[in-house]
């Protein structure tokens, strides 16, 4: 088979040579034979005649020879192709509409498919990625869905869970890298020694981390990403052993990762050992995850998730047996879940992507219906021509292949244009910030996508050809030839087909509109949620103090105080404050607190709360509203009085019927010593930490900064200027205090909030765009079908008008037809919209799936648009002049 294709290909590439060879071979034969006959005593004329008779016509022989090579099929294809091109060029209006429809629908699908392909379908770049899992602790009853894993979990599980070949932990971070004066902040990952072996992909130069390198005294080593190695070390192959300064501490480069290494969506350039102290690994730290450290594990070949899950459950149960806090942990609904790594990483956007693809498919369907309709109209215009050709001997196969060639040509060219639109669409998605979605940076326009597009275009061409070929073959020759009309009549079946096309188009467009409406409303409601503070005119930035230079609380506090002193007097600054975790930072770790006098009810478990350490004028800087009491002040943040501020959610939960002011609580999950209790001095508005759509009122506690000093903190500045304009000044101030320290992640609060909505905004925009296109296509489709119906019944209308029918009556008749179609479409559309909204429920925010306002607006829009599309043809019908219509033909 392959050989035959190769021989055909060889001939096709040297077609001239093949033809010339054939001619030469035959003339050689004729010459030789004639000569031989002459030699045997025949006259030359006689010999030539005999040769001609015995050999037959060279033209026929050549045709047979071509057929032997299968070339005739390709010649036929070429003929049909040029016929199709001629036909398409003859009706530029139809061709342009068809190509544009295919291009737009195709482009929309390609764009979404590119995202689905990179985010959902393409496996992670590790060997046997299907065996990679992630394990995280969850305490659902405490309001903590996800708490990562603890160091203790890692050291207890490693080697003790038979379903896993290996198990590793990691944490994301940023570090200050480089020599003094030219430092940069880089994304990093701290990983356990078995991290790379668990993934199955490790350093290509040098080695991985060892067990000995997991203490803070011995962890002065680093592994570089390929990009980092190329950019900073110019791909120096002798990089191993060189020193690199990370957070002011020199580390030795021990390895370089391959270019393909990319862990999930991480942009880490530098990999460091995840060092810890023995006391961090003890059973008392088992539940101290805080969603900072994450665990991955590789399943044994053949092992299942369920098996791994039951082994983890069993181990947890036996470990918890002698845990003093066992009851509280159990009450919180504690479990460690084993889930596939890839699926878990994209779980938040999976449904949205699938819905968008479904939307794009609906669009394609609408476009396809339009196209088939247009093609049918064309085909019925050519019924007679086709009948004549069939009568003259065109076979059924020929008729079918002609249609297939034409539709495939259309879909291929349209698909090519669609590729261009798709590339544009992917670019547009990039501008919408889609690359910030999980695995979003993998989204690319590549050969794989083009191949899928090519296949889809061919399949589409064949699918389009089916109804047209059916239409062409179904007619009886005689009928068509006898029919007096130039274009033949349209049968009941075709008319029904056309009308059901319109109905389904309207239904699909209605569904798209309703879906887009739900997404839009959902986005609007999310944006209307108050984050708990005034987000305008606030600039925030992240600062990380290197451990070597700022090893303890006092030095870090001193830095923060110096910073407040210098930022406050900057021109345009009203208030400045520091906080260890600013809202919308992406960090959503929660911790426990114990309220004096609060006794857990039987079904209640301890709760996780957002806990902040705040300094300077944080509350004023962020524009928090004070509900009662007072804010924490700069004196509190440096002082030693144990006071705190809680938010209204917290206050309402613990003191439902009384004032929270004066209430006492401990930082941690146990009642502590009396002199360690914090007294509530103020209640502020509830805060959204994870995002505007965070529904669970988690409660928040604000401690004075001195009690929650961390090496990483945010600075928040309220300014009268546009917030971004203050960025450089802020950076300069920080460099004045310590030239080694950069300010990272400088964004206004408004930008942070907008960025947090990217997973809602882009889908809503795309769905809106899709339904706009769908409306346009439906309008074109309705217009097309009704104009055709009018054109077909011209004579009939003319006759009726000659007999006294009024124009208004004729117009009304077409409007009535349209209204029937609209009603059918909307009815189906409502059912469809109900089904889709059920599927969409999980991505909607505070929008009931069956929203009457949205359905009504969708109905109005679709009725208006399609009515506009139908007015033109029906008034044309009313203007038909009886004389002209009857005089035609």
Q: Residue numbers of the site for another protein (CB under 8 A)?
A: 3-4, 7-8, 21-22, 24-26, 28-29, 31-33, 54-56, 60-61, 64-65, 67-70
841 half-sphere exposure, CB direction, 13 A CA radius:
7
- Pick 22 or 423: Cβ nearer another protein: 22
Alpha carbon distance 292, 581 (integer Å): 13
- Pick 70 or 381: Cβ nearer another protein: 70
- Pick 28 or 696: Cβ nearer another protein: 28
- Pick 59 or 853: Cβ nearer another protein: 59
Helix H or strand E encompassing 744: strand 743-748
- Pick 3 or 16: Cβ nearer another protein: 3
Shortest Å, Cβ 32 to another protein: 5
Shortest Å, Cβ 75 to another protein: 15
Please provide the DSSP assignment of 608-671 as one string. EEEEEEEEETHHHHHTPPEEEE----HHHHHS---EEEEEHHHHHHH-TTS--TT-EEEESSS-
Residues 750, 520: contact at Cβ < 8 Å? no
Shortest Å, Cβ 395 to another protein: 22
Residues 165, 298: contact at Cβ < 8 Å? yes
- Pick 56 or 159: Cβ nearer another protein: 56
Shortest Å, Cβ 397 to another protein: 22
- Pick 68 or 842: Cβ nearer another protein: 68
Shortest Å, Cβ 3 to another protein: 5
- Pick 67 or 555: Cβ nearer another protein: 67
Shortest Å, Cβ 21 to another protein: 6
Nearest to 256 by CA among 270, 274, 275, 273: 270
Residues 352, 115: contact at Cβ < 8 Å? no
- Pick 3 or 492: Cβ nearer another protein: 3
- Pick 67 or 530: Cβ nearer another protein: 67
- Pick 70 or 433: Cβ nearer another protein: 70
Residue corresponding to tokens 């060892």: 210
Burial class (CB in 10 A: 0-12, 13-18, 19+), 478: exposed
Shortest Å, Cβ 55 to another protein: 5
Enumerate the β-bridge partners of residue 265.
Answer: none
Tokens of residue 875, six digits: 């008034």
Angle between helices 341-381 and 492-528 (to 10 degrees): 140
Shortest Å, Cβ 81 to another protein: 23
Please provide the DSSP assignment of 498-532 as one string. HHHHHHHHHHHHHHHHHHHHHHHHHHHHHHHS--S
Residues 191, 274: contact at Cβ < 8 Å? yes
- Pick 69 or 834: Cβ nearer another protein: 69
- Pick 13 or 318: Cβ nearer another protein: 13
Residues 114, 441: contact at Cβ < 8 Å? no
Shortest Å, Cβ 60 to another protein: 7
- Pick 15 or 396: Cβ nearer another protein: 15
Number of Cβ atoms within 10 Å of the Cβ of 867: 16
Shortest Å, Cβ 41 to another protein: 13
Shortest Å, Cβ 22 to another protein: 8
Shortest Å, Cβ 106 to another protein: 38
Residues 139, 328: contact at Cβ < 8 Å? no
Residues 546, 248: contact at Cβ < 8 Å? yes
- Pick 7 or 881: Cβ nearer another protein: 7
Cβ-defined contacts of 56-64 (< 8 Å, 24+): 58/23, 58/26, 58/30, 61/26, 62/19, 62/22, 62/23, 62/26
Burial class (CB in 10 A: 0-12, 13-18, 19+), 287: buried
- Pick 76 or 549: Cβ nearer another protein: 76
Q: Please tell me whether residue 605 adopts helix, strand or coil conformation.
A: coil
Phi, psi of 657 (to 5 degrees): -115, 5
Q: Who contacts 566 (Cβ-Cβ below 8 Å, separation ≥6)?
A: 733, 736, 737
Shortest Å, Cβ 13 to another protein: 15
- Pick 68 or 392: Cβ nearer another protein: 68
- Pick 36 or 888: Cβ nearer another protein: 36
Q: Who contacts 45 (Cβ-Cβ below 8 Å, separation ≥6)?
A: none
Enumerate the β-bridge partners of residue 539.
Answer: 717, 748
Residues 356, 767: contact at Cβ < 8 Å? yes
Q: Who contacts 729 (Cβ-Cβ below 8 Å, separation ≥6)?
A: 570
Shortest Å, Cβ 263 to another protein: 52
The single-letter DSSP state of residue 256 is E
Shortest Å, Cβ 401 to another protein: 22
Nearest to 85 by CA among 368, 471, 405, 464: 405
Q: What is the 3-state secondary structure (H, E, C) of 414-480?
A: HHHHHHHHHHHHHHHHHHHCHHHCCCHHHCCCCHHHHHHHHHHHHHHHHHHHHHHHHHHHHCCHHHH
Shortest Å, Cβ 398 to another protein: 22
First to last CA, the chain: 55
Helix H or strand E encompassing 702: strand 700-704
């Amino acid at each position: 088979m392959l050989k035959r294709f190769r021989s055909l290909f060889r001939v096709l590439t040297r077609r001239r040579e093949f033809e010339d060879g054939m001619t030469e071979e035959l003339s050689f034969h004729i010459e030789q034979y004639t000569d031989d006959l002459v030699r045997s005593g025949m006259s030359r004329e006689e010999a030539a005649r005999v040769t001609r008779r015995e050999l037959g016509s060279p033209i026929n022989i050549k045709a047979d020879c071509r057929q032997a090579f299968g070339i005739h099929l390709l010649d036929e294809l070429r003929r049909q192709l040029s016929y199709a091109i001629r036909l398409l060029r003859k009706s530029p209006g139809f061709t342009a509409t068809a190509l544009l429809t295919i291009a737009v629908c195709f482009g929309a699908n390609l764009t979404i498919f590119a995202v689905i392909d990179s985010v959902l379908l393409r496996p992670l770049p590790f060997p046997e990625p299907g065996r990679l899992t992630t394990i995280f602790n969850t305490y659902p009853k405490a309001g903590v869905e996800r708490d990562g894993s603890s160091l203790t979990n890692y050291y207890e599980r490693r080697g003790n869970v038979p379903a896993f070949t290996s198990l590793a932990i990691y944490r994301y971070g940023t570090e200050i890298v480089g020599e003094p004066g030219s430092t940069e902040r880089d994304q990093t990952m701290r990983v356990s020694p078995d991290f790379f072996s668990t993934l199955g992909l490790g350093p290509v130069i040098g080695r991985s981390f060892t067990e000995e390198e997991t203490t803070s005294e011995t962890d002065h080593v680093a592994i570089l990403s390929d990009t980092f190695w190329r950019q900073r070390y110019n791909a120096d192959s002798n990089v191993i052993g060189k020193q690199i300064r990370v957070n002011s501490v020199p580390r030795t480069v021990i390895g370089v990762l391959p270019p393909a290494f990319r862990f999930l969506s991480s942009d880490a350039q530098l990999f460091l050992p995840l060092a810890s102290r023995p006391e961090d690994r003890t059973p008392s730290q088992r539940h101290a995850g805080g969603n900072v450290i994450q665990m991955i594990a590789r399943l044994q070949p053949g092992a299942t998730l369920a098996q791994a899950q039951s082994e983890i459950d069993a181990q947890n149960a036996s470990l918890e047996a002698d845990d003093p806090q066992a009851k509280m942990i159990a009450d919180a609904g504690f479990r460690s879940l084993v889930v596939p790594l890839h699926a878990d990483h994209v779980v938040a956007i999976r449904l949205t992507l699938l819905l968008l693809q479904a939307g794009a498919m609906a669009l394609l369907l609408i476009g396809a219906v339009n196209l088939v309709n247009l093609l049918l109209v064309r085909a019925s215009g050519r019924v007679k021509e086709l009948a004549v050709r069939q009568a003259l001997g065109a076979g059924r196969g020929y008729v079918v292949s002609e249609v297939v060639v034409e539709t495939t040509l259309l879909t291929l060219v349209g698909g090519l244009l669609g590729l261009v639109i798709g590339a544009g669409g992917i670019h547009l998605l990039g501008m919408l910030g889609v690359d910030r979605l999980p695995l979003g940076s993998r989204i690319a326009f590549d050969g794989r996508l083009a191949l899928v597009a090519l296949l889809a275009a061919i399949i589409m061409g064949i699918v389009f050809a089916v109804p047209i070929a059916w239409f062409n073959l179904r007619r009886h020759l005689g009928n068509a030839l006898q029919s007096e009309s130039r274009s033949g009549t349209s049968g009941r079946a075709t008319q029904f087909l056309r009308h059901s096309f319109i109905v389904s188009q309207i239904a699909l467009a209605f569904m798209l509109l309703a879906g887009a409406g739900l997404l839009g409303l959902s986005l609007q409601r999310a944006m209307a949620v108050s984050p708990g503070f005034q987000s305008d005119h606030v600039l925030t930035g992240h600062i990380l103090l290197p451990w070597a230079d700022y090893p303890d609380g006092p030095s870090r506090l001193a830095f923060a105080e110096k910073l407040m002193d210098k930022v406050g007097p900057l021109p345009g600054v009203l208030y400045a404050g520091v906080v260890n975790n600013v809202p919308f930072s992406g960090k959503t770790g929660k911790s426990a607190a114990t309220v004096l006098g609060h006794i857990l009810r039987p079904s209640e478990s301890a709760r996780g709360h957002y806990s902040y350490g705040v300094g300077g004028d944080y509350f004023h800087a962020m524009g928090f509203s004070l509900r009662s009491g007072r804010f924490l002040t700069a004196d509190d943040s440096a002082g030693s009085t144990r006071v705190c501020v809680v938010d209204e959610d917290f206050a309402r939960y613990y003191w439902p019927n009384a004032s929270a002011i004066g209430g006492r609580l401990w930082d941690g999950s146990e009642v502590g010593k009396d002199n360690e209790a914090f007294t509530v001095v103020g209640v502020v508005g509830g805060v959204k930490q994870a995002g505007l759509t965070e529904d669970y009122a988690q409660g928040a506690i604000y401690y004075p900064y001195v009690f929650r000093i961390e090496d990483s903190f945010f600075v928040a500045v309220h300014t009268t200027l546009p917030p971004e304009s203050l960025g450089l000044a802020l950076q300069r101030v920080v460099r004045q205090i310590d030239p080694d320290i950069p300010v990272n992640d400088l964004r206004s609060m408004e930008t942070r909030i907008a960025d947090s909505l990217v997973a809602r905004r882009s889908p809503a925009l795309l769905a809106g765009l899709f339904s706009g296109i769908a409306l346009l296509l439906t309008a074109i489709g309705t217009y097309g079908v009704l104009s055709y119906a009018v054109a077909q019944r011209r004579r009939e209308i003319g006759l009726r008008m000659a007999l006294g029918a009024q124009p208004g009556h004729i117009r009304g008749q077409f409007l009535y037809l349209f209204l029937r179609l609209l009603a059918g479409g909307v009815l189906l559309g409502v059912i469809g919209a109900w089904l889709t909204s059920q599927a969409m429920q999980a991505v909607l925010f505070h929008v009931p799936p069956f929203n009457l306002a949205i359905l009504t607006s969708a109905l109005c829009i679709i009725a208006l648009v399609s009515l506009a599309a139908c007015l033109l043809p029906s008034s044309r019908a009313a203007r038909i002049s009886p004389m002209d219509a009857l005089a035609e033909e």
